[in-house]
A and B are shown apart, each in its own frame.
Chain A
Amino acid sequence: MTAIQTRVLDASPSAAKARRFGAWYVAEHRLRVMRSYVSTVVIGAIGTPLLYLIAMGVGLGHLVGSTPIDGVSYLQFVAPALMCSAAVTVASEEFTYPVLSGFKWNPTFIGISSSPITPGQIIDGMVISVIVRAFVTSVIYWVIILFFGAMTVGVSALSVIVATLVGLAFGIPIMTYIATLERDTGQIAMVMRLVLLPLTLFSGTFFPLTSMPVYLQWIGWISPIWHGTQLARVLAYGAQVPGWLIVVHVLFLLALIVPFWWLSRRIAKRRLTA
């Protein structure tokens, strides 16, 4: 029993590691959870591009005919956009239900916050895990696009990073909103139907934004999907976009990612340390 004496407190190595790598531990946790629905993830990541590329590129492309759009074939035009919207879909899954679940339904975030991990690190870990899944999904998409001959190996590989960024730019503000919810009375379904769907349809994904009437084009201007898709097109087939607009596209994506990431951390802290 004499072993129990006041130990001199050393700076706990455990806490030091948690302070440094905490977000990665959370991401590791999330990725392990994703493994439990890995078949959905993989089938989604491979099946979706196949279906879309066949339906849109080959089917719809045939209807559009050989008239070039934005200087390229319809398949080439639509492929980078489809890749971006796949990353957006991944982000919209991972930043909605798992977030509300972590706070409320199966409050794993409360469990984690009893460990040395801070609420901010929980948010960071969520973001990292979505980066991983969105990136992997985009890479698979890119490879399949290569098989369809809609991109060529080279600079187009960078469009994978752009797609991942679009996912974050779309998903992180949604996480911020979801983090403020106490319960889901249809809000998540509303986000999917009234935000995800219209933004995908009216963001120059399937046709150039300029082919829409001006009074609808604003939807694209405020949509991270349009800004990201345009960037991806520049990388995929060298779409003609003025330099200043490229800068605007990048800044727009960052303007959605950085402040809302910060805000999500704040909300998580307020919620978990009350």
Chain B
Amino acid sequence: MSPVGVTLIIVSSPVIVASELVKRYGGVTAVGGISFEVAPGESFGLLGPNGAGKSTTMRMVGAVSTRTSGRLTILGLDPDHDGPEIRAQLGVVPQADNLDEELRVRENLMVYGRYFGLPMSYVRRKADDLLAFAQLQDKAKSKVTDLSGGMKRRLTIARGLMNDPRILLLDEPTTGLDPQARHILWDRLFRLKEQGTTLVLTTHYMDEAEQLCDRLIVVDKGVIMAEGTPASLIREYSTREVLELRFGADRNAEMAESLSGSGDRVEALPDRVLVYTADGEGELARLTEAGIRPLTSLVRRSSLEDVFLRLTGRSLIE
């Protein structure tokens, strides 16, 4: 897969080009000059905490929100002039569901398909296909308000696919879902990715970014902190393993002091102390030998959460 993917990135021009993209609301800068490109077929992520400017960026890329300054082309078109032409080729899954609660499940898809100028006979068939894809066939006639959170999200994704979009934009697709619902959703998104749909998603879940993104940018306070594949970001900004030690809420900070020098780096969080090291077990053994007695200890692999902590000094989810 990867050699082919690389070739594609080289031969085909990017579907999204953002350069020095800025969005200000009055005196508040939501997006402070971010630049990135997305290649066709790529799965691209924006990772960052709430309020980082991810949603605003997505709304600009979605040709809905107008940019304050900077250059932005989607599928070679400028959203300021060709909004409808761009939106005709996008699928959008917003952070907050905005399905029409006064319509039934299948009607929601049909009505939405009509907005793309698709004939009624076509939207009927397409709606049925997508209900199957979203595993909602037996809910076709249900009220939207009777669906679970996960079902609503799947319906929203199905709605975003009514026009066979070239790019699917997903803003926090699994926020608020239980683990099982998230896995079902990820599986559907994987299938789309395999079919060659370009995915652009925002998330503040590092596991989601690791699962779904070929490449991502880490965004904080409206600017890009780092860019790369999940693996390369972890390699660059973290160690292979992390040793998590808990000494009790009142002792963590103090113990972190005395641990400085252990591993590559020590990070004190309110509930635990993180020791970054290539060899977690080895480090734990050394500390035990030195008489350090944590209440609990855990060795795990580094994740994007650690990358984010390193880059910003803060956790992703606060």
Residues of A within 8 A of B (CB): 1, 3-6, 9, 11-19, 21-22, 25-26, 28-29, 32-33, 36, 106-108, 110-118, 272-274
Contact = CB atoms under 8 A, between A and B. Distances in A.
Given A14-B163, A108-B100, 6 more contacts: A5-B40, A16-B117, A17-B117, A25-B115, A33-B102, A106-B100
Interface string B91-126: 010101011111100010001101111100000000
Interface stretch (B4-12, B243-251, B290-298): B4-12
Interface of B: 4, 8, 11-13, 25, 40-41, 62, 64-66, 75-77, 82-85, 87-90, 92, 94, 96, 98-103, 107, 111-112, 114-118, 159, 163, 196
B196 A115 contact: no
B62 A106 contact: no
Given A28-B114, A116-B116, A274 B100 contact: no
B85 A5 contact: no
Contacts, number: 115
A15 B85 contact: yes
Nearest to A12: B88
A91 to B, nearest CB: 19
Given A111-B100, A118-B84, A274-B25, A12 B89 contact: yes
A110 B156 CA distance: 13
A21 to B, nearest CB: 7
Contact of A22 (B99, B100, B102, B115): B115
A235 B41 CA distance: 64
A177 B191 CA distance: 46
Contacts of A12: 85, 88-89
B96 A107 contact: yes
A264 B117 CA distance: 24
Nearest to A9: B76
B122 to A, nearest CB: 11
Contact of B84 (A33, A106, A116): A116
B66 A273 contact: yes
B287 to A, nearest CB: 49
Contacts of B76: 9
Nearest to A274: B65
A107 B95 CA distance: 12
18 contacts: A3-B196, A5-B8, A5-B11, A11-B85, A15-B88, A18-B88, A19-B84, A21-B117, A22-B115, A28-B111, A36-B102, A106-B101, A111-B94, A111-B159, A112-B115, A114-B62, A116-B84, A272-B64
Contacts of A272: 64
A12 B65 CA distance: 21
Contacts of B13: 6
A110 to B, nearest CB: 5
B40 to A, nearest CB: 5
B53 to A, nearest CB: 14
B65 A4 contact: no
Contact of B115 (A1, A18, A33, A36): A18
B77 A111 contact: no
A116 B91 CA distance: 11
A32 B103 contact: yes
B103 A13 contact: no
A97 to B, nearest CB: 11
B157 to A, nearest CB: 13
Contacts of B163: 14, 115
Nearest to B116: A14
Contacts of B40: 4-6
A114 B103 contact: no
Contacts of B65: 273-274
B84 A18 contact: yes
Nearest to B102: A33
B208 to A, nearest CB: 21
A113 B111 contact: no
A273 to B, nearest CB: 6
A32 B113 CA distance: 14
Contacts of B92: 114
B103 A106 contact: no
Given A6-B13, A273-B64, A29 B84 contact: no
